[in-house]
Amino acid sequence: MGRIVGGFATSHVLFSRAGHEAQADAVFEGMTRIGQEIEALAPDLVVIVSNDHMINFNTLLQAPFVVGIGMSHTPFGDLGIPADYAIPGHSEFAQGLVDHANAHDFDLGVIREVRPDHGVAIPSLFASPRGKRPVVPLYTNVDMRPVTPARRAYRLGEVLADYVKNVRPAGERVVVLGAGGLSHWIGVPRQGDVNEAFDRWLLDRFEAGDVGALTGLTIDEIEAESGNGGVELVNWLVMYGALHGARARTIYYEPMTAWWTGMGGIAVDVPAGA
């Protein structure tokens, strides 16, 4: 039996610090701390739940969930991310997850060659620095309706946890990282807005372990409060389901209007004896 040893979630953009150095440094320090906590857990691999930004998938084809099953993933190179290195993958884990999910009412698509954009590549920089450990990307669709409901995203996390516990080999250690959010509006009239009050409400709900409030949100409600970019909350909820709704710790939060994004990150510890 394998074991999920920790869960994390974080926003997945980084822009220039010029003119807002204190906030930018706080965000970077928060991401660095998440990386340090992942390192301390010594996982064998990290599952990064994120979404593509019209690089690998577009409006001609969007599956609800897609898993990268390649042995390595070369970044696309947006947001200044180096494109001359490979993020190691874990084909056997990834394909096994697809098969297990299929047996539990989730039809996950697969992609053999994926060029991760910032949605996966930025979290990989601190979850797998210099390619230290394999990364399995699990992509959600947040670009085309229907977007998976919050409750179903959480349920997929539970299926992931079941796969690790009951299928994976004894001693395998897995970290799950949800990436995206928080509030931001992109390509719409409210572009540049940040809803700090709603972001902090979400962080409070994670800290309280309030699964009902989080999974009870509709996609329309999430979008109304936190924008079309804020729908990336479903990535956090897949992670949260994998951790069975344990109480979270807020690592950082900054309402980065200069980056058009509420930037936040949390850690979810595995309860003792779990």
The SS3 call for residue 224 is: helix
The three-class DSSP label of residue 86 is coil
Give the model's pLDDT for residue 92: 97
What are the structural domains, with CATH classification, of the chain?
Answer: 3-14+36-268 (3.40.830.10)
| Strand, coil or helix: 238 | helix
pLDDT for 73 equals 93
Please state, as a whole number, how many other Cβ atoms lie within 10 Å of the Cβ of residue 18.
Answer: 8
User: What's the number of CA atoms in the CB half-sphere (13 Å) around residue 158?
Assistant: 14
Q: What is the pTM of this model?
A: 0.96
Q: What is the pLDDT of residue 205?
A: 98
- 229 vs 132, 142, 215, 243, CA distance in Å? 30, 8, 18, 24
Give the per-residue pLDDT at 273. 62
186 and 228 in contact (C-beta within 8 Å)?
yes
Instruction: Give, for all 274 residues of the chain, the pLDDT tens digit.
Output: 999 999 999 999 998 999 999 999 999 999 999 999 999 999 999 999 999 887 888 777 778 899 999 999 998 888 888 888 889 999 999 999 999 999 999 999 999 988 888 889 999 999 999 889 999 999 999 888 889 999 999 999 999 999 999 999 999 999 999 999 999 998 899 999 999 999 999 999 999 999 999 999 999 999 999 999 999 999 999 999 999 999 999 999 999 999 999 999 999 999 776 6
